[in-house]
Chain A
Amino acid sequence: MIIRKATANLTMLKKLLVFTVVMFAFGYALVPFYEKFCEVTGINNLLQPDVLVKEESWVDTDRWVTVELDANTTGLPWQFRPLQRSVRVNPGEPVDVMYEIVNNSDREINGQAIPSYSPRFLDKHLKKFECFCFTKQVLKPHETRQMPVQFVIEPNLPVDIHTVTISYTFFELPDGSSAIRDN
């Protein structure tokens, strides 16, 4: 009787330990699940080029929106700036702006830019067709590069918004690593 009970307890212990390990792995599985979820639902989808649907495109010539351009670097010896501080656009009109990066160091460095927007919901009304942030940038020592960003602010932007800010921050990518969400 006692022995049978001890065996039953050990079986139970094994099952529960396996369950614990599975749940530990589940915690890690939440990471790719979260990324996939955001990708499928279009949340946080900042690093993918958009496709312009022709039928929906029209230009709201009655409104003007000021787009302020901002550039930062974190932890890498690059100089990074937009060639113009801001542009005034009609919603719906395609815009081209230029950014410039300069590698001030004596070594080759890989970097990638992460965008961020103000107001935060701007990503729903901003379509980017070309951006240096989609790919990894490799700069040789003292190399200078100018890079275009092509985008449209959609006319469905709420009417009380008159100024928006598009900001990029360059981070260093370790050697050999591919660009973030490079697909």
Chain B
Amino acid sequence: MAAVHGDAHDHGHDDHHPSGIMRWITTTNHKDIGTMYLWFSFTMFMVGGILAMGIRAELYQPGIQILEPELFNQFTTLHGLIMVFGAIMPAFVGFANWQVPMMIGAPDMAFARMNNWSFWLLPVAASLLVVSFFVPGGAAAGGWTFYPPLSVQGGLGVDMMIFAVHILGASSIMGSINIITTILNMRAPGMTLMKMPLFVWTWLITAYLLVLVMPVLAGVVTMLLTDRHFGTSFFNAAGGGDPVLFQHIFWFFGHPEVYIMILPAFGIVSEIIPTFSRKPLFGYSSMVYATASIAILSCFVWAHHMFTAGMPTVGQLFFMYATMLIAVPTGVKVFNWTATMWRGSMTFETPMLFSIGFIFLFVIGGLSGVICAIVPIDIQVQDTYYVIAHFHYVLVSGALFALFAGVYYWIPKWTGRMYNETLGKWHFWLSMFFFNLTFFVQHFLGLAGMPRRVPDYALQFADFNKISSLGAFGFGLTQLLFLYIVINCIRSGEKSTQMPWEGATTLEWTHLPAKAPYHSFETPPVVK
């Protein structure tokens, strides 16, 4: 007993760790792992971005110029998979790793070794996805939702994708178990659940959603695998299966998944807006309940992705109304953020700009979501660019903008240095301009009937597609500026202070020095 005690004590004051590559391979430190998660997701963001550039280059004008249809479909499929599973989700886990222990006053994550393992699974899965482009038959090309029968018929690339999804799922489940345990068991004395920062709350709820639905995704891809190789017929009509069954199980995972990607974004924004409004968050407890309501409702709306797959009217009505109901807690959040800013002493540094941009554009994406929920309209816009525009408004200007906001907000604490504010503002305004240039016109394309996942299109869509492609190239280039800003900050940013933002109130600002030490909160702080 005493030995264990002493050991833990020794570790506590030991800032030394292996250097070079072994530091990163063997690390169990939540900050190191958080950093790796963030760099990994940025790398995958670049890979997925290159695929997006390929898609937009092909769609720049009608006809087939750059990508043959088969390769184009591989690009759209892998763009979706890589952005969802490789970029957005790991980025939020990276934030959780860095911020959750610091914000609740814990020394590290609950299961430090498992934390290392859940990160190092990711590069394996990512390599599988990327390498699948070069195997015979190419990568999976049936869309990121990999519906059968295409996913049952595809080649080796589909098997690699299935295996990658298994690994990513395992990584996410381990990550969420770690986060739940850390939040529930390792909070500093006095930090009751209802005193937790909202970012921690949103991650707690997200982690529960992940352990709820990730195993179901693992199950459905396993069924796909046995259908492909072991003679089962879950989704094969010839053997008594049903391809529509796949869609039901997939979206039982898939809809909560979209909230998995947005709830932590809500959390980040809920930290930043009060800081730069210099007011406490308006309606804290209603924010917590709204987050929980969104999570619960998200499990009962999956079939709104399948209105055209064949469903009784009663079913369509149920899923339509249930979906619209989600607008209520989401509205609570938007009004709370607005009320937080109301009469605040606001300043507009880059994190705040991205957060306000987030609210503004996420509301547009939310609104087009409610429009898509209306059955008769959805039947018209199903699988058109309207849907593409909708989910890029919630995922790019929603999740991704919140991630940018979070990086700018916390990078002084992570590096002890300040980013270049002027360049940060340029990054925001260029992103804002090019994002809207890319995606706003896609609403019009969709309403005019342009289908998604097709490399060529009718001539009347040419102008809007050209605008959209130009916007996409601009948006892609702008993200290189972000890379420069981050590297510049780490290398030669001005030294930051403990409290670079005067309105910040959470533990990492109030209790830790300018650069968070390698081991923080060895002795838990007392929260009053």
Binding site for B on A (CB under 8 A): 2-3, 5, 8-9, 12-13, 16-17, 19-21, 23-28, 30-31, 34, 41, 43-44, 74-75, 114, 120, 169, 171-172, 174, 180-181
Query: Which residue in B4, B8, B211 is a CB contact (below 8 Å) of A20?
Result: B211
B252 within 8 A of A: yes
B184 within 8 A of A: yes
- Near A by CB (< 8 A), chain B positions 200-224 give 211-220, 223
User: Is there an interface contact between B238 and A171, defined as CB atoms closer than 8 Å?
Assistant: yes
Contact with A along B216-254 (1 / 0, CB 8 A): 111110010000000100100111101001001100100
User: Is there an interface contact between A9 and B211, defined as CB atoms closer than 8 Å?
Assistant: no
CA distance A43 to B5 in the complex (A): 63
- Indicate the member of B1, B212, B220, B238 with the most A CB atoms within 10 Å: B238
Q: Which residues of B contact A34 (CB under 8 A)?
A: 242, 245, 248
Stretch of B173-181, B284-292, B321-329, B420-428 that contacts chain A: B173-181
Q: Which residues of B contact A74 (CB under 8 A)?
A: 238
Q: Which residues of A contact B211 (CB under 8 A)?
A: 16, 19-20, 23
Query: Which residue in A2, A16, A27 is a CB contact (below 8 Å) of B249?
Result: A27
Query: Which residue in A24, A114, A169 is a CB contact (below 8 Å) of B219?
Result: A24
From A47, which residue of chain B is reached at the shortest CB distance? B240
User: Is there an interface contact between A5 and B218, defined as CB atoms closer than 8 Å?
Assistant: no
User: Is there an interface contact between A9 and B181, defined as CB atoms closer than 8 Å?
Assistant: yes
Q: How far is the CB of B320 from chain A (nearest CB, A)?
A: 18
Query: Which residue in A16, A24, A169, A171 is a CB contact (below 8 Å) of B216?
Result: A24
CA distance A41 to B239 in the complex (A): 22
A-B contacts, 16 listed (Cβ < 8 Å): A2-B4, A8-B185, A12-B180, A16-B181, A17-B177, A19-B211, A20-B173, A23-B211, A23-B213, A23-B216, A26-B219, A27-B216, A34-B242, A41-B312, A180-B240, A181-B240
Q: Which residues of A contact B185 (CB under 8 A)?
A: 5, 8-9, 12
- Indicate the member of B5, B213, B215 with the most A CB atoms within 10 Å: B215
Tally of chain B residues near chain A (CB < 8 A): 38
Q: Please judge, given known A-B contacts A2-B4, A13-B177, A180-B239, whether A27 and B219 are in contact too, CB under 8 Å.
A: yes
CA distance A23 to B4 in the complex (A): 36
- Near A by CB (< 8 A), chain B positions 293-335 give 310, 312
From B210, which residue of chain A is reached at the shortest CB distance? A20
Q: How far is the CB of B114 from chain A (nearest CB, A)?
A: 8
- Near A by CB (< 8 A), chain B positions 103-141 give 110-111
B374 within 8 A of A: no
User: Is there an interface contact between A24 and B218, defined as CB atoms closer than 8 Å?
Assistant: yes
Q: Which residues of A contact B1 (CB under 8 A)?
A: 3
Q: How far is the CB of B238 from chain A (nearest CB, A)?
A: 4
From A41, which residue of chain B is reached at the shortest CB distance? B312
From B5, which residue of chain A is reached at the shortest CB distance? A2
CA distance A24 to B248 in the complex (A): 15
User: Is there an interface contact between B4 and A114, defined as CB atoms closer than 8 Å?
Assistant: no
Q: Which residues of B contact A114 (CB under 8 A)?
A: 237-238
From B182, which residue of chain A is reached at the shortest CB distance? A9
From A28, which residue of chain B is reached at the shortest CB distance? B219
Q: Please judge, given known A-B contacts A28-B219, A30-B252, A34-B242, whether A16 and B180 are in contact too, CB under 8 Å.
A: yes
CA distance A143 to B404 in the complex (A): 70
Q: Please judge, given known A-B contacts A2-B5, A31-B245, A43-B312, whether A24 and B181 are in contact too, CB under 8 Å.
A: no
Q: Which residues of B contact A9 (CB under 8 A)?
A: 110-111, 181, 185-186
User: Is there an interface contact between B212 and A2, defined as CB atoms closer than 8 Å?
Assistant: no
Q: How far is the CB of B92 from chain A (nearest CB, A)?
A: 19
Contact with A along B385-410 (1 / 0, CB 8 A): 00000000000000000000000000
